[in-house]
Structure 1
């Protein structure tokens, strides 16, 4: 084998070990040996190199009663961090997500105006600077990921349109990169969320998934087919909120000839609960605590229309699992068996007989984790090349 070939194989194996530690959580060297088929000495060398790069750490195994020498446990280093960003109509959420999937820092910046791409970049840079001078002083920040509620062109990350934000052909990737110096990726928020739920959440281990996300900007969606995320020709697949489901009762129609996200709407829920603005937990708590017939009627109305939209998706895509996030999870949980029955009543029996509907397991973390996963992609694909652009921080010693 040539030196070039040997180097390529080693780089591939470094990426395999790092990805296993990232996706699987703490793993023993023995487990890594079994998963990869590599021998123990090769695993030891690869882990030592990744540890020297600051990407993984090793610790003694938990005490167990077994014969033989216990195998050290390998974990992704939490000091390797991606910055995850989610601009919305009412708030800008920024999180620091570790390679171990922890979220040591997050900030929700409430907004009384529509944030622009330039302001997004400035606020991200300001928050990053504050964290670097404080809690993330010893972190290695490798990239930024931005989850945008809109159509994002896959080829270059250009936000073609985020109508609720008022963005058109916005080069937010370039703006954030220029402001922070970080390699930056941009994607549709729901597409990033389905990736997070598929890897770590409610759809883990499921090969065929439909995901719908309900947020302040409407309803977006993401797809996993045969275990692979589906983006479409330009990256715009999954816009379930723009579909027009049939509405059986005239009394259920509130938006004229509106699309799904006009009828099944977070803003309508906020209005009946009596909140001007709220995060997901606050809205869910408000609905749960309410005894108002008007709130109950609105939740039921939205659930009926959502059931029709889901039945259409089930007929077309035949998923094993539908995952609902954001306010859609809230209205589903109000009567999950009833929602599933309503979907099956409107879908083809063969397509829906084994269907499950689940709420997003990662809850409000799903968009941050999904954005971070996109940001970590280059590191997980080729650790050595990715790290060349992100030198370690120099932290002054105390003394």
Structure 2
């Protein structure tokens, strides 16, 4: 005989399993794109009626939609295709030394809108909050078309404490113990989650870009604020005890180098820098596309100063990639920002420099590629922070 307490526990367990299965199905559609019900049935191992019920509940929750499949020659009634509802969105914010960027990203991982506001100077935390909040206010007419806004994800070029989004140190922004997430939440009324920009970029490339399908990868991004990195090990982002792991930009690559702002000598980001490339090109600033064109033109013209600087930076970058490969044994190294520009100039040269130095066993399955998501990468990565609570526990729309 089943007692009332046992019935209660059984009901609770079944509800827990149902919610876990809802999260599984939603996560598959969110990360993998549109999927036929039959594909979800096969991938989850659940029976067809269970998957149908789960999809129906996700439709009622406003998280997915269903559409008729494209015509095929297969016998029988075709299975409906389940799609993440693009009207469910997250906001993304990226404070940088020269601009604040805000984006709207759909649950399908597509950037709906991206707006960049140049600051003219390095913004303080309070200034960045005010600018981002004003930019979000300007986007509210577009947000009105969304069925729900899950919150704001922030990609910060610095060390961010995962537990509360406090920016412990963002040296190029000159922020120390800045409660940016809490202040932006108070200014906008949205829940805010913050993380290191390169780690979020690594996750975005793993889910939607060059790292799709990879379980072990290292992502390095080069920008105006230096070089950041994110590491994925066994399909899980490497965070460290407080969320500060992966600071490969401060790896020693030149013991005779100059002193870095962190206090050490010869860090990767002091030897390999966007600023040095722009200086030798005679440019004040350039986005990635402009830098690609300028570097290619200079190389084609045979500019010796530019060629020498490229070779110098490739040499130090190869040292860093050697160390990363020996330590993490990744299957893939993904290079973003100006590092991607360097790679595009001479992919074979960089691969050869790394191969000459790396432990042969550690590097035998290594591929070095350029990031694919371009300017969308940090918007997508930051949005994943805001989507995470909903993906973990699909829920009805709350009042906002």
The one of 347, 359, 369 aligned to 1:336: 347
1:47 shift after superposition: 1.4
The one of 136, 146, 156 aligned to 2:143: 136
Q: TM-score, normalised by structure 2?
A: 0.92
Give 3-state SS (helix, strand or coil) of 2:165's partner.
Answer: coil
Distance of 2:236 and 2:110 partners within structure 1: 24
1:24 shift after superposition: 1.1
Unaligned stretches of 5+ residues in structure 2 = 1-6
Distance of 1:289 and 1:59 partners within structure 2: 47
Distance of 1:193 and 1:143 partners within structure 2: 18
1:263 shift after superposition: 1.2
**Partner residue, 1:225:** 233
Deviation beyond 6 Å, 4+ runs, structure 1: none
Report if the CA contact (8 A) 2:332-2:368 is conserved. Answer: yes
The one of 356, 364, 373 aligned to 1:362: 373
Distance of 2:107 and 2:233 partners within structure 1: 26
Report if the CA contact (8 A) 1:222-1:238 is conserved. Answer: yes
Residue correspondence of structure 1 range 31-50 to structure 2 within 5 A = 31-50=39-58
1:378 aligns with 2:386: no
Report if the CA contact (8 A) 2:159-2:244 is conserved. Answer: yes
Q: Deviations over 1:262-305 (max 9, x none)?
A: 11001111212222222222222222222333222212211111
**Partner residue, 2:213:** 205
**Partner residue, 2:312:** 301
> Number of aligned pairs?
384
1:122 aligns with 2:133: no
Distance of 2:154 and 2:177 partners within structure 1: 15
Moved more, 105-114 or 270-279: 270-279
The one of 342, 348, 357 aligned to 1:346: 357
Q: 1:326 to 1:334 in 2, by over 3 A?
A: same
1:87 aligns with 2:98: no
Distance of 2:126 and 2:254 partners within structure 1: 39
**Partner residue, 2:32:** 24
Q: Deviations over 1:203-255 (max 9, x none)?
A: 222222111111110011111112211111221111111122137xx8xx677
1:136 shift after superposition: 2.8
Distance of 2:380 and 2:325 partners within structure 1: 26
Distance of 1:390 and 1:337 partners within structure 2: 54
Report if the CA contact (8 A) 1:246-1:308 is conserved. Answer: no
Residue correspondence of structure 1 range 220-299 to structure 2 within 5 A = 220-246=228-254, 257-290=265-298, 291=301, 292-299=303-310
Q: TM-score, normalised by structure 1?
A: 0.92
Please tell me the root mean square deviation across aligned C-alpha atoms, in Å: 1.7
Report if the CA contact (8 A) 1:90-1:277 is conserved. Answer: no
Q: Deviations over 1:87-112 (max 9, x none)?
A: 11122111111001111111011121
Q: Deviations over 1:92-139 (max 9, x none)?
A: 111111001111111011121111222222222222222222x33211
Give 3-state SS (helix, strand or coil) of 1:155's partner.
Answer: coil
Moved more, 254-263 or 236-245: 254-263
1:347 shift after superposition: 1.4
Give 3-state SS (helix, strand or coil) of 2:143's partner.
Answer: coil
Distance of 1:309 and 1:142 partners within structure 2: 37
